Structure 1
Amino acid sequence: MNPFDYCQQKAAASGSSFYYSFLFLPEPRRRAIMALYAFCREVDDVVDETHDLTLAQTKLDWWRKETAAIYGGTPTHPVGLALKEVIRDFNIQQAQLQEIIDGMQMDLQQTRYLDFKALNLYCYRVASVVGLCAAEIFGYQDPQTLKYAHDLGLAFQLTNIIRDVGEDARRGRIYLPVDELQRFNVPARQILDAQYSDEFRALMEFQIDRAEQYYDQALAQLPAGDRKSQRPGLVMAAIYRTLLREIRADGGRVLTYRTALTPVRKLWIATTTWIKG
């Protein structure tokens, strides 16, 4: 199996909504974004699937060395080999890939965030940086597009956090800021014990409203001249906002249930959004 086939399989197997936004890209850009996405999956899986913290740290350290090897021309992992080709054609910086790993490192070191400022740093590293790299692959003319990519990445990560409150709690993690839990009178134990309340639903409404604001802010910053090249991001925004609105319509029932869109629905949203441009 060649490196790009490995990345393709990694992306497809994840079942992520991101996969559907890549389908309509021309081959060079599709291969590049698949390689970037596979890299993100690999380092994210280290944190989510390795229960021994020492082993997880060792694996992340290995990926730091592999990232340096990508830019030194000597990677060994299929994803590294694919990215070695990608960085020749697209402006993906070593510091950006290392910062994504820094975000995963945060998951090994903390399970709570005191306020939105602290959470924002985490979201920047694991999502906004990915958005900035993706914008380079998709192509743009106006630097303003990078502000759009940054905020759209943040909106995506906030959506993930909202969707996965229950799943994360079962891993002992709560990404909702501590000061916001206190403001809405929702003890952390209530989330860890998957107990619903009117206060929790109000907290989720607040989280959903903020994510929607970041979608609006991101889309307002996308220059008209770059809209066509950045269509994959628009596809993702359409899919993720649909998911977010499903969660709202379901009353924020995220402690015991993981809202998801069917593959057919994702494909329909992707196709119609791509055609609209």
Structure 2
Amino acid sequence: MAIGLAGARNEEYAIRMQSRLALSPDQAAELAGDFAACGRIIRDGSKSFHAASLLLPRDVRAAAYALYAFCRVSDDAVDLGADPAGALLSVRCRLRQAYAGQPDPSSVDRAFAWVISAYSIPSALPEALLEGFEWDAAGRNFETLSDVKTYAARVAATVGVMISLVMGVRSREALARACDLGMAMQLTNIARDIGEDARAGRCYLPLEWLREAGLSSADLAGLAEADSPVRALTARMLDAARPLYRSGVSGIALLPEACRPAIRAAASIYAEIGAEIARGGHDTIARRAVVSKRRKIALAASSFIPVRTEEADADLPPAPECAFLIEAVAAAPLPRPQAADIPRAGTAPWAIDLFLRLEQRDLQAEAG
């Protein structure tokens, strides 16, 4: 039932785009299928992002799915493949083709190419993302917290900026706050995955922090559970994320009203991961913090309640690690006015009912 509803909305979106962009019926049908395929990738591959994205207005959601699916498929090709260097070359080639208007004949690449053109997304953003993937493939380590943020700017803030652009938001102030929120989420991911990363031969904690604690990245891999120094490092990373959450959430006031619940939900769900880590004694070696479906539903529902104190911190400058992303957007041409609908209020509450249906389906599947 949920899949049918999503398919109908993708088809409706494609029909509107057909009239706006002079697409043939066949092209409109292909576009609908491309967006549907991107949605399936997100539903299966990123539960937290999918949960929050259901609250977006349908047009913004479709474009966000296309962006996120391209990022996800590219990351998996580099991270999970046998030849990361070859995969990176392939992804960079696909990116050039997409920006040339000649994408690879896949649903993800076709949808991505349409979105970057329609919303005038500068190539510097996905190129920075791929640089982050390259650092991952090379097993790059980071000396300072600023170095970690420089990495987070590439693998997380870039996505936040691109999604802001499909919301129709291009101001420096709003993009700076989107970068803050993206980095906060990435620092939370790093804290959550310390054990998993260590066992895979990776470490995203600042090396200077490890030295201060008398540890090495190799020491982390040999632990069955977190000792006191590792728990302190985990708490320290969550502490580093906290001011970024505050400034990032303040930027929600700069977004279209219909888009705010989704971003509130995303911020709340990721912040709840940090709370789960704390409740588990900051041990992310022996366990991986997970937010339950029921808790995600509660957070999503509460995201529709405006925060009275929600006011943009417009005077706070962009994080220096992200300034280049904001400059790239400023230098890009404005998108075509007819490319996308302006988000409308009142298009998202249906998602709460869908959340409940999905939760009921999952509980029934577990019982069976």
- The residue number in structure 2 matching 1:165 is 194
Aligned counterpart, 2:306: 276
TM-score by length of 1: 0.92
Question: Mapping of 1:126-165 within 5 angstroms?
Answer: 126-140=155-169, 142-165=171-194
Aligned to 2:35: 4
C-alpha separation in 2, matches of 1:64 and 1:48: 15
Q: Retained in 2: the 8 A contact 1:111–1:172?
A: no
What is the Cα deviation at residue 59 of structure 1? 1.4
Partner of 1:84: 113
- C-alpha distance in structure 1 between counterparts of 2:100 and 2:304, whole Å: 37
Q: What is the alpha-carbon distance in structure 2 between the residues aligned to residue 225 and residue 156 of structure 1? A: 19
| 1:190 and 1:196 in contact (8 A); partners too | no
User: What does 1:213-232 correspond to in 2, within 5 Å?
Assistant: 213-220=243-250, 222=251, 224-226=253-255, 228=257, 229-232=259-262
* 258, 269, 274: which one aligns with 1:244: 274
Q: Which segments of 5 or more consecutive residues in structure 1 lack a partner in the other structure?
A: none
Matched, 1:25 2:53: no
Structure-2 change in CA distance of 1:187 and 1:59 (3 Å): closer
Question: Hey, what does 1:110 align to over in structure 2?
Answer: 139
User: Which amino acid in 1 is paired with 2:87?
Assistant: K
C-alpha deviation, 1:190, in angstroms: 2.5
1:208 aligns with 2:238: yes
Secondary structure (helix, strand or coil) at the match of 1:245 reads helix
More moved, 255-264 vs 184-193 = 184-193
Letter of the structure 2 residue corresponding to residue 37 of structure 1? Y
**Are the aligned partners of 2:184 and 2:245 in contact in 1 as well (CA < 8 Å)?**
yes
Three-state SS of the structure 2 residue aligned to 1:113 is coil
Aligned 8 A contact 2:226 2:286 in 1: no
The 2-side partners of 1:224 and 1:211 are apart by 20
Scaled by the length of structure 2, the TM-score of the pair is 0.70
Q: Is the 8 A contact 2:160 2:182 kept in 1?
A: yes
- How many residue pairs match? The answer is 273
2:70 to 39, 42, 48: 39
Distance 2:50 2:213 in 1: 36
Q: What is aligned with 2:348?
A: none
Q: Does 1:98 align with 2:127?
A: yes
For 1:89 and 1:268, locate their aligned partners in 2 and report how far apart those are by CA, in whole Å.
34
Tell me the equivalent position of 2:344: none
CA distance, structure 2, for counterparts of residue 147 and residue 88 of structure 1? 22
RMSD of aligned Cα (Å): 1.8
Change (3 A) 1:223 1:175: closer
Three-state SS of the structure 2 residue aligned to 1:17 is helix
- Describe the superposition over 1:109-129 as per-residue Cα deviations: whole angstroms up to 9, x where unpaired: 124212222222211110111
Report the Cα distance in structure 2 between the residues aligned to 1:101 and 1:113, rounded to whole angstroms. 17
Q: Would the aligned equivalents of 1:142 and 1:226 in 2 still touch at CA under 8 Å?
A: no
Structure 1 residue ranges (4+ consecutive) displaced by more than 4 angstroms after TM superposition: none
- Retained in 2: the 8 A contact 1:184–1:199? yes
Which of structures 1 and 2 has the bigger CA Rg?
A: 2
Q: 2:84 aligns to what?
A: 56
Give, in whole Å, the separation in 2 of the partners of 1:31 and 1:178. Answer: 40
Contiguous gaps of at least 5 residues in structure 2: 1-29, 308-368
Look up the match of 2:220.
191
Sequence identity, in percent? 30
The secondary structure found in structure 1 opposite 2:47 is coil
> How many angstroms apart in 1 are the aligned matches of 2:58 and 2:206?
40
Distance 1:178 1:216 in 2: 26
